[in-house]
């Protein structure tokens, strides 16, 4: 299998900040709004470079969504940023009515997503956000895997005409994709090729899937590894091409089992190629307090559990 190297751990939220700045330099219509979380969202560089295009909305997320929708109607391209829990659950009605329903060109920057928010605990962690955003008609849903891909995804989101949800995280994680790899909304990326099992992952779980694939290869189980940073619209062609070869799939995501990438893939396969599947996800649970590493282990969101799922699936394929 193709080997990947961690080129230095970086948080994906910093990839968003770098992408926002680069997009802002290229297009004067881009604006940034945040709900008292400029530093956490890594919007500092954009705010310093373009103070006239940055709005600090305070802890008023619902108002921020309305302001952004108004800016979009006037021809601006607003990025709104907050923690994933607050930018989805707290303002779902506003996102539905003011953004999705009107197809407003608003980009929703969702930081500190998933269980890896860590010590802030269950009230701030969200494992339900992908399900919420997938359910909104016309909403693009992105969950890139590392710093480089998050930067590229942010730039791609700025160029996309319509609402986009970009999900990224707090902790420093392996940065392993090419710096010049680019990003295409709606495209999955085949990172490694095998014939026995397809490992499908998004976000932080892509690196874990690659590590699991290395372990499995040493045991004679060769895996396709598909990085799926665009959860909606799903790259059905790439997923089906892999499944036709391997006849089995493990889907790994830092999200609860309901409404996430796993269910999106399962729905695709159910209507096209019914396929044996296994799922590595947060099951049906809220988060709890702990370090990111402790929580990933406790919830089974790591390479070890992906490899175990693949072994079991291989045995019953």
User: What six digits make up the tokens of 48?
Assistant: 């310093």
Instruction: Compute φ and ψ for 177, nearest 5 degrees.
Output: -80, 160
Number of residues written out for the chain? 317
β-bridge mates for residue 198, sequence order: 224, 249
Give me the catalytic one of 61, 128, 253, 263. Answer: 61
Q: What phi and psi, each to the nearest 5 degrees, are found at residue 241?
A: -60, -40
Output the six-digit token pair for 20.
Answer: 């926002």
Query: Both ends of the chain: CA-CA distance in Å?
Result: 21
Distance CA 129, CA 133 (A): 6
CA distance 242 to 247: 8
193 assigned to active site: no
Q: Which pairs count as long-range contacts for 51-57, CB under 8 Å and 24+ apart, including other chains?
A: 53/24, 53/28, 55/31, 57/33
Q: Cα separations (Å) of 133 from 17, 87, 95, 122, 299?
A: 22, 10, 9, 19, 23
Sign of torsion over alpha carbons 127, 131, 134, 136: negative
Residues marked active site are found at 61
């Amino acid at each position: 299998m193709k080997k990947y190297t961690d080129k230095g751990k970086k948080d994906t939220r910093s990839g968003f900040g770098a992408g926002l700045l680069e997009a802002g330099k290229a297009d004067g219509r881009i604006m940034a709004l945040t709900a008292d979380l400029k530093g956490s969202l890594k919007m500092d560089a954009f705010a310093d470079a373009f103070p006239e295009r940055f709005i600090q909305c305070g802890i008023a997320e619902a108002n921020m969504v309305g302001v952004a929708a108004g800016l979009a109607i006037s021809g601006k391209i607003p990025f709104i940023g907050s923690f994933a829990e607050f930018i989805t659950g707290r303002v779902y009605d506003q996102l539905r009515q003011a953004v999705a329903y009107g197809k407003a060109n608003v980009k929703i920057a969702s930081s500190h997503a998933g269980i890896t928010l860590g010590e802030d605990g269950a009230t701030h962690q969200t494992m339900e956000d992908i399900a919420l955003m997938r359910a909104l008609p016309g909403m693009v849903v992105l969950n890139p895997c590392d710093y480089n891909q998050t930067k590229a995804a942010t730039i791609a989101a700025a160029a996309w005409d319509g609402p986009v949800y970009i999900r990224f995280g707090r902790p420093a994680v392996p940065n392993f994709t090419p710096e010049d790899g680019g990003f295409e909304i709606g495209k999955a990326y085949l990172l490694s090729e095998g014939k026995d099992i397809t490992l499908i992952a998004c976000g932080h779980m892509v690196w874990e899937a690659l590590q699991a694939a290395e372990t499995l290869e040493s045991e004679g189980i060769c895996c396709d590894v598909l990085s799926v940073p665009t959860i909606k619209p799903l790259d059905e062609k790439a997923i089906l091409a892999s499944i036709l070869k391997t006849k089995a799939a493990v889907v790994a995501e830092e999200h609860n089992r309901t409404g996430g990438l796993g269910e999106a893939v399962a729905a695709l396969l159910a209507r096209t190629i019914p396929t044996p599947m296994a799922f590595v996800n947060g099951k049906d649970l809220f988060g709890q307090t702990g370090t990111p590493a402790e929580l990933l282990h406790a919830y089974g969101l790591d390479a070890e559990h992906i490899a175990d799922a693949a072994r079991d699936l291989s045995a019953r394929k």
